[in-house]
Structure 1
Amino acid sequence: MRASFRRSLLAFLLIMLVSLPRPALAWGNTGHEAIAYLAWQQMTPATKKRVMALLQQVPPITTATATIPGYAIWVSQLPTGLTADQKNRYLFMRAATWADSLKHEGLVDSDTPPPGVTVDVHLGFSDPQSHGYWHFIDTAFSDDGGAVPATPVPNAVTQILALREFIASTEDDLLKAYDLAWLEHLVGDIHQPLHASVRYNAGSGDLGGNDVKIKLTAAQKLKFECSPSTFAPTELHAFWDDLPGSCSAQNGLKPGAAFAVRLPHLLTKGDARLADTDPASWAADSLAVAEKDAYAAPIGTGIKPTDGTSSYAITTAYYAGSLADAKDRVALAGARLAKLLNENLK
């Protein structure tokens, strides 16, 4: 039975969890929109048609503090002058940010899996939970050889595995629409290196880089899509989230599409990574990028620099390397999302 499978899949004991929550956004709206844009280009006509039929099922969700937009509101906000395919692509891009729009909007927030609670894979659009802990996988590593906790579950990997199976099933379309919206987002999340890692030093974790303070020069801030007067990341996690830009959609498909159109050349059909369909492997790759590049110099081993300053100064070389990683991860996420939907969505 479907329900028993869900429960058996995710009825894990929650062990050695970190005690503090962590923000669960990844890539910002621009990055998720870019991933969806790239995926759309690589989806088959049949997959696109099925995706749009399901997205029409996404309702607005009214909470005590806000109305979270659904399909009808997305349609009402379509830019003018788009072709039919461009409209559908725009709506698919909007759906990629839906899971983040649930955060802190009157639903029950939790970035740490509740102790002792067995979490179902999904409950549908009436679900009062925001499920922040679905957005990442806290695989711990230590740069001083110290002990690290086990990886908490549920996490992005367990969710993608389950949701992928469910969109290939015969479940009703309303549930499948919920699964699709989450799946579109989580495939993007798991390719952000700091959504697949948490670094430990002297026995303390850094919440996926959220506790690591950084500072940018004025020139570096200008490289982001947003004005430096409104955007200046001050911690490592936010810096990586917003490498593709931190703005919401503007002027039609910008900035997600503007970022995306520069990326397809980074991947070819012969790229061996495209044959990898294992979300656990995707997460391991993101962890490797985090260890090698996200925590490279000038980022030191501690939460703060040892020279008495409060934050690490981002260098031009670090910025350039991080941006190159972000472009590669976003392009790879788009290709993998398309492949996953083409091969599994029924």
Structure 2
Amino acid sequence: MIRKLLTVLAFAATLISAPAQAYWEYGHETIASIAYRNAKPETRARIDALLRQSRLLETPTCPAFTIEQASVWADCVKPLGERFSYAYSWHYQNVDVCKPFDLKSACRDGNCVSAQIERDVKLLKDAKVPVREKVMALVFLVHFVGDLHQPLHAGDRGDLGGNRARADYGLYGPERLNLHSIWDGWLAERAISTPPSLVRLYSPQERAAVQGGSVEDWSRDSWQVAKDAVYATAMGDPCGPPPKRSKLDDATIAKLVDPAREQVVKGGLRLARLLDEALGG
């Protein structure tokens, strides 16, 4: 009996821990694969050439020889402590969804995801920047565009991007589950794995529909998704009193699959545009 109980507990532990990595890995890798597939051939050649130099980063436990590996490098190096602690706040921007969109207040001194995306593009364009710095700019850029399109990295309501908003995912509801982990993990995994595959060559019309605008425009877009798709479905009134614990039932989860898929596609195609601008000649 004890052995059986331990087996059940071990299985439950894997269920809790594994999906927490789903957006960090599955989402980022999918966005990177879409971008690579839809970038110009010359852009892909320059990406490959830079990533062949990724040993210059001196992070052997966090390789970046492919664009998929590069897409998760910025998260992989977090445990390396002081070497990369300066970049912690670059992964997100807490723009209040219950106030008029205000990116400047959330991005003071450039310590936010949108400002770093723009910085990385500038570094990649600059012929005078050393190769090592270009490689780092590339791996940061690939990751940060993915972060910007996870809505809770772009908007929140004073709850650390949903990390303090407790929530149940269908019948699953361990105490530590929250809106952020649901959109990072459980929902991202379901959305990306729902057929058809998101990794394909998109038509010029499909690309034009999402690639236009600036990084600030994309920030506003993701911020709006945070308000309308994340908080509204979890709380009813996205700016009303938060419940002690939100409950996303199966019907609600099914409705969120398409918005979650759309964010991944937007991220991939917009990343392709930035890579072409920075490296496509």
1:303 to 1:240, Cα distance in 2 relative to 1, 3 A:
farther
Counterpart of 1:131 in structure 2 is 87
Separation in structure 1 between the aligned mates of residue 229 and residue 33 of structure 2, nearest angstrom: 26
What is the SS of the residue equivalent to 1:241?
helix
Q: Which residue of 2 aligns with 1:270?
A: 205
Cα displacement (A) at 1:142: 2.3
Q: Are 2:263 and 1:329 aligned?
A: yes
Count of matched residue pairs: 249
1:69 and 2:62 matched: yes
- For the residues of structure 2 that align with 1:238 and 1:215, how far apart are their CA atoms? 11
Q: 1:344 is aligned with what amino acid?
A: A
Contact 2:38 2:201 in 1 (8 A): no
Supply the distance in 1 between the matched residues of 2:62 and 2:200 (Cα, whole angstroms).
33
Q: Hey, what does 1:210 align to over in structure 2?
A: 163
Q: Does 1:244 align with 2:188?
A: yes
Contact preservation (8 Å) 2:90, 2:113: yes
Q: Which runs of 5+ in 1 are unaligned?
A: 1-24, 75-90, 109-126, 200-204, 222-227, 247-254
Contact 1:37 1:260 in 2 (8 A): no
Structure 1 residue 94: Cα displacement: 1.2
Alpha-carbon distance in 1 for matches of 2:123, 2:252: 40
Query: Contact between 2:93 and 2:154, CA under 8 Å: does it hold in 1?
Result: yes
Unaligned regions of 5+ residues in structure 2, if any?
1-20
Aligned counterparts of 1:266 and 1:51: Cα–Cα separation in 2: 18
Identity %: 30
Distance (whole Å) between structure 2 residues aligned to residue 38 and residue 330 of structure 1: 9
In 2 relative to 1, CA 233–336 (structure 1 residues): closer, same or farther, beyond 3 Å? farther
Task: Tell me the TM-score normalised to structure 2 length.
Answer: 0.77
- What's the counterpart of residue 289 of structure 1? 225
Deviations 1:27-60 (A, max 9, x none): 3210001011111211222111111111122236
Structure 2 contact 170–253 (Cα < 8 Å) conserved: no
Displacement of 1:68:
2.8
Alpha-carbon deviation of 1:191? 1.0
Change (3 A) 1:27 1:303: farther
Q: Distance in 2 between matches of 1:233 and 1:321?
A: 24
How many Å separate the matches in 2 of 1:141 and 1:274?
A: 22
What is the alpha-carbon root mean square deviation over aligned residues? 3.1
Question: For the Cα contact (< 8 Å) 2:35–2:269, is it kept in 1?
Answer: yes
In structure 2, relative to structure 1, the CA distance for the partners of 1:302 and 1:275 (3 Å cut) is closer
Compute the TM-score of the two structures, normalised by the length of structure 1. Answer: 0.64
Partner in structure 1 of residue 68 of structure 2: 93
SS in 1 for 2:97: strand
SS at match of 1:297: helix
Select the structure that is richer in helix.
2
